[in-house]
Amino acid sequence: MDIYLMGYMGSGKTTIGQRLAKQIGYTFVDYDQFIVEKEKMSIPAIFESKGEIYFRKKEALYLKEILQETNTKKIVALGGGTPCYGSNLQEIKESGVLSIYLNVPVPELTDRLWEAKSERPVIAGQESKEALEEFVRKHLFERAFYYNQAGKVIKVQGQSEAAIVEEIVAALF
């Protein structure tokens, strides 16, 4: 069974996904990188040149494509907004994959994102850490409805990456 990791940007989907895939012998797919390869441009460049609506349409199209690809067992680290737009969450739920929400507290997300905000078009304009935290809090409140529909919720509160992976593995086997 394929595993799709979801959660807010900075929640560790890629890092945990890579470690989990290595541990259980699955292929790892970073969904944002998958889109970059398909579109032949970075996510920020897509947002800047073609807009968010274009990006979300392509995101939905490629999600259907990757959900239908069943010849390898894979861990997919979704983009933070992927399950929150259009029928994406429904597509994920109906596909038979296991979805896992990495639920990270707002202060921890803010700390992680503050260091990497220039690489993330959605938050690049936040001028202070306090403004970023307020943005994350509001945005996460809006998205929590979608994230909490995952098949499994993992509370991430300071435990090591290895401990998070072990918690997921214990839930799988």
pLDDT in tens, 29-57: 999 999 999 999 998 899 889 998 999 99
pLDDT (0 to 100) of residue 118 = 72
Cα dihedral 54→55→61→62 (10° resolution) = 150
Q: Residue 76 carries which DSSP code?
A: E
Tokens of 140: 């996460």
pLDDT tens digit string along 93-151? 999 999 999 999 999 999 999 988 777 777 878 889 999 999 999 999 999 999 999 99
Ligand-binding annotation for 160, yes or no, is no
How much is the average pLDDT of 63-92? 94
How much is the average pLDDT of 62-91? 94
Ligand-binding annotation for 32, yes or no, is yes
Residue 150 zone, left/alpha/beta (φ > 0; ψ -120 to 50; rest): beta
Ligand-binding annotation for 11, yes or no, is yes
Ligand-binding annotation for 38, yes or no, is no
Residue with tokens 């040149």: 49
Ligand-binding annotation for 159, yes or no, is yes
| DSSP strand pairing (98-103 vs 152-155) | parallel
Ligand-binding annotation for 19, yes or no, is no
Ligand-binding annotation for 13, yes or no, is yes
Distance CA 143, CA 83 (A): 9
Ligand-binding annotation for 143, yes or no, is yes
Residue 172 has pLDDT above 90, yes or no: no
Ligand-binding annotation for 112, yes or no, is no
Q: Is 30 helix (H, G, I), strand (E, B) or coil?
A: strand
Distance CA 107, CA 163 (A): 20
Q: Which domains does the chain have, with CATH numbers?
A: 3-172 (3.40.50.300)
Q: Angle 83-86-92 (CA atoms, 0-180°, nearest 5)?
A: 40
Ligand-binding annotation for 17, yes or no, is no
pLDDT (0 to 100) of residue 22 = 97
Q: What percent of the chain has pLDDT over 70?
A: 100
pLDDT (0 to 100) of residue 115 = 84
Residue 23 CB contacts under 8 Å (≥ 6 apart), including other chains: 165, 169
